[in-house]
Structure 1
Amino acid sequence: MAPKNSSDKEKAAWELIRQLEINTWEAQDNLLKAKISQSFFTNKSRDLTFPFKVGDRVVLSTLHHWREYKAPGKKRVAKFMPCFDGLYKIMDMDKEHSTVMLDLPNSPNLFPTFHTSQVKPFHENNAMLFPSREFNHPPPVITKNGKEYFIWDIIDE
């Protein structure tokens, strides 16, 4: 409040200070509203329970692995890179930081801890519900000695 015996300049200064205080309060209120709105919309997609448990099988996002995929000398295009890689087993979890540790047998140089946003649960195909998603084995080659199969890789010893 401006004193009663003040000049016009002093009154204008007091009014300016009062208006600055009001503007500051409004800005603080708007910042608080924005913070509440952001937290509301962010928390809509969050789950209160941890989505994984030790032993679950997951696939890993390849979003941050494009550099290795497009290594110099390899004629590859990133848009043809698969979105998810492998089938990995969860070895350990940290619920406080929302991270999981994966068993990465073929990637010894890769740090095995990932945020849960980078992994997705693996669901086995149900051939009864989705028969078109079933991978068909190639038919055998029939020769005069009988059926023969071509083997490209030995997966398990």
Structure 2
Amino acid sequence: MRIDDRIERLLRATMDAAVHRDTPRFEKALRKFRDAESVRKAVDLALAISAFVLFQMYSGKPSAAQIAELAASISRQEAWMGLTTDDVESLLGGMLNGEPTRAPLLADTIMIPAILVATNLVTTTSQPSKGEWWFNYLDKIETAIETP
């Protein structure tokens, strides 16, 4: 995947707002994705980040039961934005089963769940006690998923 630097900066700012549960800042950051192409690229990057973390967590593709358990946990943690277990399970299941997210309406619909799930996975799997804060871990993930 080739990461667009502008989209990465916008996504990182949006993720930071999510980390701090700052709803006004999160909503303002979302509005900076002004066109369908920006939304699609942000969703693609958020899904790639999530996929990378999931494959690391489970040493491969997680099972349906693991996804269901994870979805329940993430939805509880991200309830501040109204994220439901069904939202998370649908997003992760679709991503892991290769369901398309290219249609502009679909990309717009899954943007918030995609960003919240990616943020949650990065923050809950980073290791601040070892000096690896979420944004440092995000740097490592992006290096791993980006192709020259």
TM range (shorter): under 0.3
- Where relative contact order (Cα < 8 A, 6+ residues apart) is larger, the structure is 2
**TM-score in terms of structure 2 length:** 0.25
**TM-score in terms of structure 1 length:** 0.24
Judging by fraction of residues, say which structure has more helix. Answer: 2
Judging by fraction of residues, say which structure has more strand. Answer: 1
* Higher Rg: 1
